[in-house]
Structure formats: structure tokens, C-alpha cells
């Protein structure tokens, strides 16, 4: 393994397969380097954990794999919390997941604002009743 730098974060990379080992905190640092909004990075990172055939390079204990943020991107994690194994190119896929999630949050915010204006207009039109519409 050799050290490579992504967004000012030094990670270990396998020269044979291109996979990368990120210490436990480095996954969060990689996310923060790509997305400054903590709301985009909030929420569960690990979905649907399953046993992995890989062993942790730090402690040699069998790792588990999971769907990253509920997306079809499988990452591997040490059961002892030492870090994460990313297959070659997974750091780019992580960035894509965060970009999509940020766009989804922006769309949801716009829909909420539009619906709020719609409700305000209904209240004005029908006398400001606070009764439920349904």
C-alpha cells in the first residue's frame, strides 16, 4: 500500500487493485471536503450490513459490507471501527451520492416553500381558517 492524497486527506491505496483504506474518521473528512453542508452529510451512512469476505488491514478481523447511505454502493467496514475499505473508484461514487443528495434536499426545500405559499394563499382566500384542509 502507498499513501495517496484526496482532498488533502492521506489514504492508503493498494497498488494492485486500486482499492483504498480510510481510517475511521477519514470517510467523514472525505465527505466534508466534497460537501460543506452538514445537512447533506447528516443521517445514517451504513445500510443493510452483511458479512464481508475482506479482512481489516489493521486487525485482520472479518469486515462487513454495507450500502453507503442507502445507495447501491457497497463499502466495507472494520467491525472494530478501524476504518473503511473502498474499491477502486468508490471515492468518486461517494461524491456523486452526495451531489444527488444535496440536489434532492434542495428540491424538497423548494417544494415545501411552494406548498407553504399555496397554503397561505388558501388561508387568505377562505378567511384564514386554521382547520385542516382534509
How many angstroms separate the CA atoms of 28 and 26, rounded? 5
133 is a domain residue: no
Q: In this model, does residue 64 exceed pLDDT 70? A: yes
Residues 6+ apart with CB under 8 A from 44: 69, 70
pLDDT digits (tens, 9 = 90+) for 10-19: 889 999 999 9
Q: Which ranges constitute the DSSP H helices of the chain?
A: 26-34, 38-41, 90-125
Number of domains in the chain: 1
55 is a domain residue: yes
Structural domain boundaries, residue 82: 2-125
pLDDT digits (tens, 9 = 90+) for 96-134: 887 776 776 676 666 666 777 777 777 777 765 555 555
**Residue 51 pLDDT:** 95
134 is a domain residue: no
90 is a domain residue: yes
83 is a domain residue: yes
Q: How far is CA 58 from the centre of its chain?
A: 24
Residues 6+ apart with CB under 8 A from 101: 40, 69
**pLDDT band of 2, cuts 50, 70, 90:** confident
Q: In this model, does residue 56 exceed pLDDT 80? A: yes
Amino acid at each position: 500500500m502507498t499513501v495517496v492524497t484526496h482532498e488533502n486527506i492521506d489514504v492508503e491505496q493498494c497498488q494492485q487493485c486500486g482499492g483504498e483504506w480510510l481510517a475511521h474518521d477519514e470517510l467523514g473528512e472525505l465527505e466534508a471536503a466534497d460537501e460543506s453542508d452538514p445537512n447533506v452529510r447528516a443521517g445514517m451512512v451504513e445500510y443493510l450490513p452483511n458479512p464481508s469476505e475482506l479482512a481489516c488491514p489493521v486487525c485482520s478481523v472479518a469486515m462487513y459490507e454495507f450500502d453507503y447511505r442507502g445507495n447501491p454502493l457497497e463499502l466495507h467496514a472494520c467491525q472494530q471501527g478501524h476504518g473503511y475499505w473502498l474499491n477502486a473508484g468508490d471515492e468518486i461514487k461517494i461524491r456523486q451520492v452526495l451531489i444527488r443528495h444535496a440536489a434532492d434536499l434542495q428540491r424538497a426545500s423548494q417544494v415545501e416553500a411552494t406548498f407553504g405559499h399555496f397554503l397561505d394563499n388558501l388561508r387568505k382566500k377562505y378567511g384564514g381558517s386554521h382547520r385542516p384542509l382534509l
